[in-house]
Structures are given as structure tokens and as C-alpha cells.
Amino acid sequence: MNRMLPGTRALRTFEAAGRHLSFTRAGEEVGLTPAAVSYQIKEIEEQLGIVLFKRTSRRTQLTPAGAVLFEAAADALNRLQRATGRARRLARGTSHLRVSLSARFATNWLLPRLPQLRASNPGLELTFDISDEMRDFEADDIDIAIRFGTGRYEGLCSDRLFDTIIVPVCSPRLIESGARLEEPRDLLEHTLCYVDWRTDGMVWPNWRMWMAAAGIEDFDDSRCVGFPDSSYVVQAVSEGEAVGLADLDMIATDLSQGRLVRLFDIGLNVAKDYAYHLVYPDSSRQDPTVLAFREWMLDAATQSIEPPMRVPG
């Protein structure tokens, strides 16, 4: 007797449960309650006449039959996702580019330059995937990505865009209030914000490092306020009386439009291996649309003009 196979949604739930060996974590991934995951698994088991999981009070395990079906389901879903990505790419046409990038880079760097990009490439259409994660280009239907890192990605081409320079900034209101900001040591009287982030031995420039570059060796950073992302630093600086360390290229528009003011002429480079990179599959190396976007991005990156610095006095 032939049996109906489970649908794609049910298989996705089963695959998540088999990968996590937890109905709770599977539910979080697919947007279901643990009870709903359990119900779907039970339906599959009844539909196929197979026990897929052995559940105890302490843990969940795949049965041998469940392990066979899990491997097949994971492979089938992966193939279907990749095929869907290829189909979408064909459907949208060769002039349509899907770009993956972080919200910060999109808002602060690319969007202000979109008019120039469209003027240079009038036939180019763009859609964006806003994410900080490195995408699977085929499965996630991505043509090209902009990522911060070392640029070393297996099977992918990578072009370094520009170095990252961290500088101190404040709100114009802080200067207008008459706050003393004539020399770096004056910053000790202010709330100092920075990005508290490190990875693989690389530490994002912080106030201790900046003060050392400014010749202040006795700096106590215990009162500094660390944030997980620079957007929080910029917000704290813009809305309050704090001084923050920010990525110069990511705040260029804020500086040029007077929403932020750069203080002093001391900037810190992020570790030399780390920068923003343009990333794309090796198979797309000769793709005309990818090449057009790559050429424009590399040219725009070299034309990043540092706004004039204002040193209060």
C-alpha cells in the first residue's frame, strides 16, 4: 500500500527536531510551540507507520529509522532550497542583483550613494537582504554580499573595500553647551561610549586604546559605557551628552550634515586583517551584473571623502 509522504512544512519541522534533538529548540526555529512540534511529529509517525524519536524525561533521540529519514529529509530540503534560489534568480532576470549587507552599512554608507549608483548603472535593479550573517549564496538567493571581516571565505571571491578608522565624536549640542573639549584629557570629564566587541583575538578599538594613542597613560576606563553595536553608540551620542568612538565611514553622512562632530585628529585603525569586503561566488566572477556593481563599489570606496574635522576651542 502506497503511503502519502509528509508535506514540506512537516518535513522542515521534523528536520529541525532531528537536528536539535529538542522539540523546544525546533519550535523556536520554525515558529511553533513544543506541543505543536510534538503533534506534527506524531502525525508524521502515524502517516508513515514509523517511530521517529525515542523520548524520555531527560532527552530526545532519533530511532534508527528516524535517523534514515532525517538524513533524507535534510538532503531533500537543502536541494529544494538551492533549486528555489536558482529558480528565483532566473525569474528576476540578469539585470536584477540581490545584495546581502548589514543594516548599518545599508543605512549609513550605501543608501546615501544609491543615486550615484543608479546614474552610473541605469539598467541595474537592486533588492537587499539585511543581515549580519554570511549567507549561502545559492540557497539564500544572494548574488553579492558586503561583510566586515578578514575576507577569507572558502569558495568565494573577496575584494577589500576600505579600512575602518575609529574616531571620537559628539553631538553639536554638547559643544554649544560650552563643554570644555580643547584637548584629549578634557574627555575624562564626559561619559565615554564605545563598541565592546572582540573576535578571534581582535579587539575593537576602545577608549583605553584611544587614550594611549593620545598620550594619556593613566586612563581609568571603569566608567566607560560599552555597547554591542555602533548604532547604540551613535544614538547615545546624538541624544545625550556622551562622547563616543565611531566608525568614520559609517558616520560620514552624520558628520557632513552636522548631526555629529568629530573631535581631535586621532583615529585608530581596526586590526589590519579586518575591513569591509565585497564577497561573491567564484562562479560569478564573469557575471556582467556582478562585475558592474563590483566596479562601482570599488570606485565609490576610493572616493570616500573624510568630512572636515572640528576641534572645539
The pLDDT value given to residue 306? 52
Domain extent, residue 242, equals 165-269
Per-residue pLDDT tens for 193-205?
999 988 877 889 9
**Confidence grade of residue 1 (pLDDT, cut at 50, 70, 90):** very low
Residue 184 reports pLDDT greater than 50: yes
**Confidence grade of residue 214 (pLDDT, cut at 50, 70, 90):** very high
Handedness of CA 79, 82, 85, 87 (dihedral sign): negative
Residue 265 reports pLDDT greater than 70: yes
**Confidence grade of residue 217 (pLDDT, cut at 50, 70, 90):** confident
Q: Is the same domain home to 113 and 233? A: no
Residue 20 maps to a domain: yes
Q: Is the same domain home to 118 and 141? A: yes
Q: Which string of b and e fits 125-144 if b means at least 16 CB within 10 Å?
A: ebeebeeeeebebbbbbbbb
The pLDDT value given to residue 119? 92
Residue 308 maps to a domain: no
Q: Is the same domain home to 117 and 81? A: no
Residue 3 maps to a domain: no
DSSP, res 108:
I
> Which of 88, 121, 137 corresponds to the end of one domain?
88
Residue 2 maps to a domain: no
Residues 16 and 62: their CA atoms lie apart, in Å, by 12
- Residue scoring higher pLDDT (83 or 28): 28
Residue 1 maps to a domain: no
Residue 207 maps to a domain: yes
**Confidence grade of residue 2 (pLDDT, cut at 50, 70, 90):** low
Q: Is the same domain home to 142 and 286? A: yes
**Confidence grade of residue 99 (pLDDT, cut at 50, 70, 90):** very high
Q: Is the same domain home to 261 and 281? A: no
Number of H helices, E strands in the chain: 11, 15
Q: Is the same domain home to 256 and 169? A: yes
The pLDDT value given to residue 313? 47
Q: Is the same domain home to 195 and 63? A: no
Residue 311 maps to a domain: no
Domain total in the chain:
3
Per-residue pLDDT tens for 38-85?
999 999 998 898 999 998 878 889 999 999 999 988 888 878 777 776
Residues 32 and 165: their CA atoms lie apart, in Å, by 43
Per-residue pLDDT tens for 139-148?
788 899 999 9
Q: Which three cell numbers stand for residue 21?
A: 534533538
* Contact present, 96 and 66 (Cβ < 8 Å): no
Q: Is the same domain home to 47 and 128? A: no
Residues 51 and 48: their CA atoms lie apart, in Å, by 9
Q: pTM for the complete prediction?
A: 0.68
Residue 312 maps to a domain: no
CA dihedral 212, 266, 245, 133 (to 10 degrees): -100
- Residue scoring higher pLDDT (77 or 36): 36
Q: Is the same domain home to 14 and 72? A: yes
Q: Is the same domain home to 135 and 208? A: no
Residue 3 reports pLDDT greater than 70: no
User: Looking at residue 75, which CATH number applies to its domain?
Assistant: 1.10.10.10
> Which of 25, 59, 88 corresponds to the end of one domain?
88
> Around 259, how many Cα atoms within 13 Å sit in the side-chain half-sphere?
12
Q: Is the same domain home to 136 and 199? A: no
Q: Is the same domain home to 14 and 139? A: no
Least confidently predicted of 131-145, 153-167, 289-303: 131-145
User: Looking at residue 278, which CATH number applies to its domain?
Assistant: 3.40.190.10
* Contact present, 289 and 143 (Cβ < 8 Å): yes
